[in-house]
Structure 1
Amino acid sequence: MPKKAIVIGAGVAGLASAIRLAQKGFKVEILEANSYPGGKLHSFTQEGYRFDAGPSLFTMPHFVEELFTLCQKPVEAYFQYSKMEEACRYFYEDGTRLIVHADTEKFAQEVESQLGVPSERVLKYLAHSRQIYETSGKIFLEKSLHKADTWLSTEVLKALLLIPSFDLHRSMHGANSSRLKHPKLIQLFDRFATYNGSSPYQAPGILNVIPHLEHGFGTFFPKGGMHAITRALVQLAEEMGVKIRYQQRVEKILVENGKAIGVELNGEKRFTDVVISNMDVVPTYRKLLPTEKAPERTLRQERSSSALIFYWGIQKELPELGLHNIFFSENYKEEFRQIFEEKTVYADPTVYIHISSKVEKEDAPAGCENWFVMVNVPGNTGQDWSQITQAVREAVLLKLSRILGQDIASLIANESILDPIRIEENTASYQGSLYGAASNNAFAAFLRHPNFSSSIQNLHFCGGSVHPGGGIPLCLLSAKIMVDTLTV
Structure 2
Amino acid sequence: MPKKALVIGSGIAGIASSIRLAHAGFSVEVFEANSYPGGKLSEIQIKGYRFDAGPSLFTLPEQMEELFQLAGKDPKAHFDYEKLEVACHYFWEDGKQVKAWADINRFAEEVETKLGESAQHVREALKSSAYIYDHLAPLFMHRSLHQISTWTNAQALKSYLKMGKLGIFSTMHEANAQRFSNPKLVQLFNRYATYNGSDPYQTPATLNIIPHLEFNIGAYFPKKGMHDITQSLYKLAKDLGVKFHFNAKVDEILVERGKAIGIKVKGETRLAGVLVNNMDMVNAYKTILRKQKQPTKLLNQPKSSSALIFYWGIKKNFSELGLHNILFSEDYKREFEHIFKKGSIYEDPTVYINITSTHKPDDAPAGGMNWFTMINVPNNQGQDWDQLIAEARKNIIEKVNRVLKTDLEPLIEVEEILEPRTIESKTSSSNGALYGNSSNNRFAAFLRHANYSSDIKNLYFCGGSVHPGGGIPLSLLSAKIMMGFVLGK
Return the TM-score normalized by structure 1: 0.99
Partner in structure 2 of residue 449 of structure 1 = 449
Q: Distance in 2 between matches of 1:480 and 1:487?
A: 11
Q: How far did residue 136 of structure 1 move?
A: 1.5
Aligned residue identity for 1:96: K
Q: Distance in 2 between matches of 1:143 and 1:369?
A: 41
Aligned: 1:276 with 2:284: no
Aligned residue identity for 1:129: S
Q: Distance in 1 between matches of 2:34 and 2:216?
A: 36
Partner in structure 2 of residue 64 of structure 1 = 64
Aligned residue identity for 2:61: P
Q: How is 1:135-284 mapped onto 2 (pairs within 5 angstroms)?
A: 135-284=135-284
Q: How is 1:345-356 mapped onto 2 (pairs within 5 angstroms)?
A: 345-356=345-356
For residues 329-368 of structure 1, give each alpha carbon's deviation from its aligned partner in whole angstroms, at most 9, with x where no partner exists: 0110111011011111001000000000000000000000
Please tell me whether the aligned partners of residues 317 and 368 of structure 2 are also in contact (alpha carbons under 8 angstroms). yes
Q: How far did residue 5 of structure 1 move?
A: 0.6
Aligned residue identity for 1:311: Y
DSSP 3-state at the match of 1:288: coil
Q: Distance in 2 between matches of 1:162 and 1:17?
A: 34
Partner in structure 2 of residue 290 of structure 1 = 290
Partner in structure 1 of residue 369 of structure 2 = 369
For residues 30-79 of structure 1, give each alpha carbon's deviation from its aligned partner in whole angstroms, at most 9, with x where no partner exists: 00000000000011210100000001111111100010111111112211
Q: Distance in 2 between matches of 1:293 and 1:432?
A: 24
Partner in structure 2 of residue 13 of structure 1 = 13
Partner in structure 2 of residue 117 of structure 1 = 117
Q: Distance in 2 between matches of 1:73 and 1:93?
A: 48
Give the fraction of aligned pairs with identical amino acids, expressed as a percent.
54
For residues 362-386 of structure 1, give each alpha carbon's deviation from its aligned partner in whole angstroms, at most 9, with x where no partner exists: 0000000000000000111111111
Please tell me whether the aligned partners of residues 138 and 155 of structure 2 are also in contact (alpha carbons under 8 angstroms). no
Please tell me whether the aligned partners of residues 9 and 278 of structure 2 are also in contact (alpha carbons under 8 angstroms). yes
Q: Distance in 2 between matches of 1:376 and 1:118?
A: 30
Aligned: 1:471 with 2:471: yes
The answer to which of 120-129 and 146-155 deviates more is 146-155
Partner in structure 1 of residue 388 of structure 2 = 388
Partner in structure 1 of residue 341 of structure 2 = 341
DSSP 3-state at the match of 2:415: strand
Q: Distance in 1 between matches of 2:50 and 2:415?
A: 12
Aligned residue identity for 2:167: D
Please tell me whether the aligned partners of residues 458 and 487 of structure 1 are also in contact (alpha carbons under 8 angstroms). no
Q: Distance in 1 between matches of 2:183 and 2:137?
A: 27
CA RMSD of aligned residues (A): 0.8
Please tell me whether the aligned partners of residues 197 and 434 of structure 1 are also in contact (alpha carbons under 8 angstroms). yes
Q: How is 1:33-112 mapped onto 2 (pairs within 5 angstroms)?
A: 33-112=33-112
Please tell me whether the aligned partners of residues 41 and 55 of structure 1 are also in contact (alpha carbons under 8 angstroms). yes
Q: Distance in 2 between matches of 1:160 and 1:306?
A: 33
DSSP 3-state at the match of 1:170: coil
Q: Distance in 2 between matches of 1:487 and 1:133?
A: 27
Partner in structure 1 of residue 421 of structure 2 = 421
For residues 245-286 of structure 1, give each alpha carbon's deviation from its aligned partner in whole angstroms, at most 9, with x where no partner exists: 111000000000000000001111100001100001111111
Partner in structure 1 of residue 2 of structure 2 = 2
Q: How far did residue 164 of structure 1 move?
A: 2.1
Aligned residue identity for 2:438: A
Please tell me whether the aligned partners of residues 13 and 476 of structure 1 are also in contact (alpha carbons under 8 angstroms). yes
For residues 435-467 of structure 1, give each alpha carbon's deviation from its aligned partner in whole angstroms, at most 9, with x where no partner exists: 111100000001111100011101100000000
Q: Distance in 2 between matches of 1:337 and 1:169?
A: 21
Q: Distance in 2 between matches of 1:263 and 1:274?
A: 11
Aligned residue identity for 2:66: E
The answer to which of 292-301 and 105-114 deviates more is 292-301
Please tell me whether the aligned partners of residues 19 and 240 of structure 1 are also in contact (alpha carbons under 8 angstroms). yes
Q: Distance in 1 between matches of 2:223 and 2:215?
A: 21
Q: How far did residue 137 of structure 1 move?
A: 2.1
Aligned: 1:435 with 2:432: no
Aligned residue identity for 2:413: A
Report how many residues are paired: 488
DSSP 3-state at the match of 2:255: strand
Aligned residue identity for 1:106: R
Aligned residue identity for 1:9: G
> Is there any run of 5+ residues in structure 2 with no aligned partner, and where?
none
Q: How far did residue 172 of structure 1 move?
A: 0.3
DSSP 3-state at the match of 1:34: coil
Q: How far did residue 166 of structure 1 move?
A: 1.5
Return the TM-score normalized by structure 2: 0.99
Q: How far did residue 12 of structure 1 move?
A: 0.3
Q: How far did residue 162 of structure 1 move?
A: 1.1
Q: Distance in 1 between matches of 2:263 and 2:445?
A: 29
For residues 194-244 of structure 1, give each alpha carbon's deviation from its aligned partner in whole angstroms, at most 9, with x where no partner exists: 000000000001110011010111111101100001010001100111101
Q: Distance in 2 between matches of 1:32 and 1:223?
A: 27
Q: Distance in 1 between matches of 2:464 and 2:244?
A: 20
Q: Distance in 2 between matches of 1:259 and 1:24?
A: 21
Please tell me whether the aligned partners of residues 32 and 247 of structure 1 are also in contact (alpha carbons under 8 angstroms). yes
Q: Distance in 2 between matches of 1:82 and 1:289?
A: 41
Please tell me whether the aligned partners of residues 49 and 365 of structure 2 are also in contact (alpha carbons under 8 angstroms). yes
DSSP 3-state at the match of 1:165: coil
Aligned residue identity for 2:230: T
> Is there any run of 5+ residues in structure 1 with no aligned partner, and where?
none
Q: How far did residue 181 of structure 1 move?
A: 2.3
Aligned residue identity for 1:35: S
